[in-house]
Chains A and B, each alone.
Chain A
Amino acid sequence: MKKSLEIRSVRKSFGTNEVLKGISFRIEPGEIVSLLGANGAGKSTLIKILSGAFTEFDGEIFINDQPANIGSPLQARSQGIETVHQKINEGIVAGLTVAENLLFDRIALGEISRFATPAKMVREARETLKSLNLDWDDEMLKDDVFNLGIADQQLLLLARALSHNPSLLILDEPTSALSNAEVSRLFEIIQQLRTDGVAILYVSHRLGEIDELADRLVILRDGVIQTIQSKPFNWSEALHDMLGMDLREAQFGIEEERGTNVVLSVKDAQIFEESNSWSIDIRSGEVTGVIGLLGAGKSEFARSLFGAEKFKAGAVEFLGEVFNPKTPADAIKKGVFLISEDRARDGILESWSIANTTSLPFLKKIASGSLINFGKENDLAAKMVEKLKVVSQSYKSTVDSLSGGNQQKVMVGRWLMQNSRLLLLDEPFRGVDIGARREIAGQIRELVREGNAAIIFSSDIDEILESADRVLIMVEGDIKFDSYLSETSRNEIIQKMSEVA
């Protein structure tokens, strides 16, 4: 059934903080509307209202021009609204199998008995997967969902949402964990849904995706709709409205830096049991970007340098000495820092303040002996907040209360407050808007100018082009390509990335 969605004058406050200040727009059946906004603009809040997670707000919502009451996620679903939220782990039920997760909504409603045999579960689950043309084998479906990679978990959630045949589909950063091939498959599906008359609200930080998919842009800043654009989009204007500054101003015109001093030397390293071994030198004074699809071994590379994992084989020299950290603590002592990929799992401590989170890796620096010096700790946090322009009420605010981009700034910023010799950043820009991305990239550049080395690991080519000087391409655990950016091209990088041995 085809449905239109209209919201009128929606307002939402948290305490005295008004996050949405009267939002009105409309999505027609068969239309893809993209919601664009920096971190903290109010996108997630609006999505939570539409998906029934927030029920207290001012304003009205109309479905097919009838006033609609979305009092709970279940009510949203019964009216044909399906949402795929940005935070994958909130949708995945740990401890259940992949099949049970695919069928979770139906099990919860009692349509499928929770005591159904595994065989029946697998049969039903396979039906669900058809919506995404996924072909997962029985073993995978019977496995604990915890063993799925993050990309497959994302696909699982998409398949689950599509299995309800939604008439209104809300996608919040659905591609942040997907590889290029999976993204293009998802796009085919989204375009098919549009043809079928589904109204789609698409939220992403990736402008290229939006340009390809969206029919209209709704640009949100500080809880207010700045403009609504129809095709063809004026991106310079859109970014201006989104960030409140001119694109030329925001442009991050980097001059390529080339370092000469080798600080890290990896010899005959092997990342996976079966993968090829390789050797590489990393130089200070330049930013090295490592690009590769998900599962190419980027995180394993980073974590092995940090002592959180081990190379299958190989030797590492750092600053002319054998470097073999057994724990992250060893690596940190030598000035090798890692900002990990998944901040919710590996970085954030629930209900910890910005100040406490910032000081955690460097407790000794803020203490005299073992006694914490709270003045020092607060100074450190205040400096970090200022340096990274973290938007928060104060450094006493909890990190989990910040918007995603500001959380990431804290995660990155706390490592920038101490002297690192080699900074490893694993997907540092995930879910971060352009403004924050450029600020973080600028800080990394400053660090290498002071004679240090930095490696950015990313699966997004634009992020690498924007922030690195030199690019390494990883494919299946192997480094296939090594070049300065000025000596290669976007097309060459994409081509090398998709070359499989």
Chain B
Amino acid sequence: MKKARTLKTKAEFSARDFLVKYGFILVTLISFISFFSTQDTFRLSTTFFSMLKYTSVVAITGLGITFSMAVGGLDLSVGAMAGMAVTLSAMTMVIYDKSAVVAVVLVLLAGVLIGCLNAFLIVVLKIPDLLATLASMFAIMGLKLVPVKGQSVSSGMMMQDGTTAPGKFTDTFLKIDAGQLGPIPYAVILWMVLTVACWFFLTRTTWGRAMYAVGSNPEASLLAGINVKRYRALAYILSSVLASISGMILASRIGQGDISAGNSLLLDSVAVSLVGTSVLAMGKPNAWGTALGAFLIGVVITGLTIAGFPYYGQDVVKGAVLLLALIFSFTLSRKKSRFISAV
């Protein structure tokens, strides 16, 4: 028997829409307030800023992922790129005894270079994004070990010829992570500046618009006169450069060329970018969403750590946050979310 079904009332519709749009921001606020009211240490402003400082590395890498997702791909090589930036800056300063400025310039150049390599594999050799960057991820991780013979580079280390390494991490370089403007760490300022820049680029310029078009429907974009290859290439170059910047912050933080640095960065930064797609029901990768995603994960991890939650449980928390965001994006949203079409 077919029962005549009544339509859902308008109120039910808007409650769901409200949840989809603001749910994630609410979750962030609630987590923040609950930790703030229950944990004394969490209330300290130093806790707040050091939390932001730690988050900045993942957040900036996530901005890179946001670009590759915007053009419908995914850059799997960002963690490896950041790791290479750590080793490269250590080598420049410790082994070759150069200044911080030289290290920064070299690392940024390396970012551009690796980005161009990825772009070449994807745009010219037409290898699917995921596979191309998977290959370059392994290549970069292996390549960076060659000049340092698989060793972490640290100040005062013994060289091959028995002498001591001439240089050290310069004070200027260490300031990237340790320095502050008033109470705000430089790394956090850098994160905010880059977020604003990426937001502006993606939403206010024809370049960003074209990138989203390419990610949404490459064939339609081509027929609308968009230079699809150029924008895909640009996205991967920006992604690598952002990863190289986060690698420098990481190097400055650990103060040595740790060869395992950056290993966990890929998954974390993909997670924050994905979380970002659900913020304000955007349904697409975006800069502020990525920043907020990183912030929420930072709040939850910091809060739980202060409350005595064991460090080895952190990934469970990240997984849960990601899952929640995906439910907002895919289950509750009436708008189709669309990214990583390469998968």
Closest A residue to B219 by CB, please name it: A346
B335 CB contacts on chain A under 8 angstroms: 351
Q: Which residues of A are in contact with B by a Cβ distance under 8 Å?
A: 13, 15-16, 55-61, 67-70, 306, 308, 327-329, 331-333, 338, 340, 345-352, 356, 360-361, 363-364, 367, 370-372
CA distance A107 to B206 in the complex (A): 47
**Distance of B105 from chain A, by nearest CB (Å):** 26
Assess whether B217 is in contact with A349, with CB atoms less than 8 Å apart. yes
Q: Give the docked Cα–Cα distance between A361 and B225 (Å).
A: 6
Q: For the complex formed, measure the closest distance between the CB of B18 and the CB atoms of chain A, giving whole angstroms.
A: 15
CB neighbors of A among B216-238 (8 A): 216-217, 219-227
Contact B1 A372 (CB under 8 A): no
Q: Is residue B7 within 8 Å, beta carbon to beta carbon, of the partner chain?
A: yes
Given A56-B5, A329-B227, A332-B225, check contact A363 B209 (CB 8 Å): yes
21 A-B residue contacts at CB 8 Å?
A15-B13, A58-B4, A308-B223, A327-B222, A327-B225, A328-B223, A329-B226, A345-B220, A351-B283, A351-B336, A352-B213, A360-B209, A360-B213, A360-B221, A361-B224, A363-B209, A367-B205, A370-B206, A371-B204, A371-B206, A372-B206
Contact B216 A327 (CB under 8 A): no
Contact with A along B317-343 (1 / 0, CB 8 A): 000000000000000000110100000
Across-interface contacts of B5 in A (CB, < 8 A):
55-58
Residue of B nearest to A366 (CB): B206
Contact between B7 and A58, CB atoms less than 8 A apart: yes
| In the complex, residue of chain B having the shortest beta-carbon distance to the beta carbon of A62 | B2
Measured CB to CB, the closest approach of chain A to B305, in angstroms, equals: 38
When distances are taken between beta carbons in the complex, the residues of chain B under 8 Å from A352 are: 213, 216
From known contacts A60-B2, A67-B1, A69-B2, infer whether A346 and B205 are also in contact, taking CB-CB under 8 Å.
no
Residue pair A348, B206 in contact (C-beta under 8 Å): no
A329 surroundings in chain B (CB, below 8 A) = 225-227
- Are B213 and A349 within 8 A (Cβ)? yes
The residue on B at minimum CB distance from A68 is B2
What 19 additional pairs, Cβ within 8 angstroms, besides A306-B223, A351-B335, A372-B209? A57-B5, A58-B6, A60-B2, A60-B4, A67-B1, A329-B225, A329-B226, A331-B225, A333-B225, A346-B220, A346-B223, A347-B223, A349-B213, A349-B217, A350-B336, A350-B338, A351-B216, A360-B221, A363-B209
Per the bound structure, the CA–CA distance linking A450 and B281 in Å amounts to 45
Cβ-based interface call for B138 (8 A): no
Report the interface size for chain B: residues with CB under 8 A from the other chain: 31
Residues of B within 8 A of A58 (CB): 4-7
Contact B210 A363 (CB under 8 A): yes
* A328 B225 Cβ-Cβ under 8 A: yes
- Residues of A close to B126: CB separation below 8 A: none
B309 CB–A CB distance under 8 Å: no
In the assembled complex, the CB of A365 is this many whole angstroms from the nearest CB of chain B, namely 10
> Does the CB pair A350–B1 fall under 8 Å?
no
Closest A residue to B207 by CB, please name it: A370
Going nearest first, the 6 A-B pairs with the smallest beta carbon separation are: A332-B225, A349-B216, A363-B206, A329-B225, A361-B224, A69-B2
B214 (CB) vs chain A CBs: closest residue: A349
Give the most central of B216, B224, B336: most A CB within 10 Å: B224
A360 x B224 contact (CB < 8 A): yes
Q: B residues within 8 A CB of A328?
A: 222-225
Contact B216 A340 (CB under 8 A): no
- Looking at the assembled complex, report how far the CB atom of A297 sits from the nearest CB atom of chain B, in whole angstroms: 19
Residues in A neighbouring B338, C-beta threshold 8 A: 350-351
What residues of B have a CB within 8 angstroms of the CB of A67 in the complex? 1-2
> Residues of B contacting A372 with CB < 8 Å?
204-206, 209
List B contacts of A70 (CB < 8 A).
2
Are A367 and B206 CB-contacts (below 8 A) given A16-B10, A350-B336?
Answer: yes
Once bound together, how far apart are the Cα atoms of A345 and B223, in whole Å?
11
Interface centre among B207, B209, B223 (most CB of A within 10 A): B223
Partner of A347, one of B1, B210, B220, B336: B220
Report how far A395 CA is from B225 CA in the complex, Å: 22
Interface centre among B1, B10, B283 (most CB of A within 10 A): B1
